[in-house]
Amino acid sequence: MNLKLEAVNLLRWLHFVAIAVGGGAAVVALLLSGFEEDREDLQGLAATVWAKVVVWAFRLALIVGLALLVMMIQGGRNPLKDGSYFHLKLLLVFILLGLSEMTPKALAVGKRGSALLVLLLFLASSFTVFNKGLFGGRPKAGPVLPVSAESTLPQATQASPEVQRQPR
């Protein structure tokens, strides 16, 4: 077990938490927007939750993600060269952030289309990262196994000639 606290692992954890909070709050805001039609005391609550929680969580995730990218590049790993999954993720994230900034105004007037699209982009970017091998990632080089000249294992039932000659 590795108990060493490294900056990359700490940033990765903070990035994950910010994304999880943003995605969870987006679902809550969408649920609240459905209740706003029937109850007048909840009017505007979905837009407020989106503006205060979702937008700030996604902003924090972007800032931490960029810091994580810089730290990884300085450490010798470059996710931009590992295939096209990271480029696709960045494209989805920037579209998600742009829509996320516009969503509170749409939710305030009762329109949920952009909020649903943000949630869809959130799920698509998560799918892209989880299944990065589907998007042209290069396989990691494994250890080189030595090739032996003898491809069969000796049988345990037959004793070697040296063992048979020795007196007991």
Residue 62 has pLDDT above 90, yes or no: yes
Domain extents in the chain: 7-137
Q: Are 90 and 144 in contact (CB under 8 A)?
A: no
Q: Are 21 and 57 in contact (CB under 8 A)?
A: yes
Average pLDDT over residues 95-112: 90
| Distance separating alpha carbons of residues 78 and 100, to the nearest angstrom | 28
pLDDT tens for each residue of 8-17:
888 989 999 9
Residue 122 has pLDDT above 60, yes or no: yes
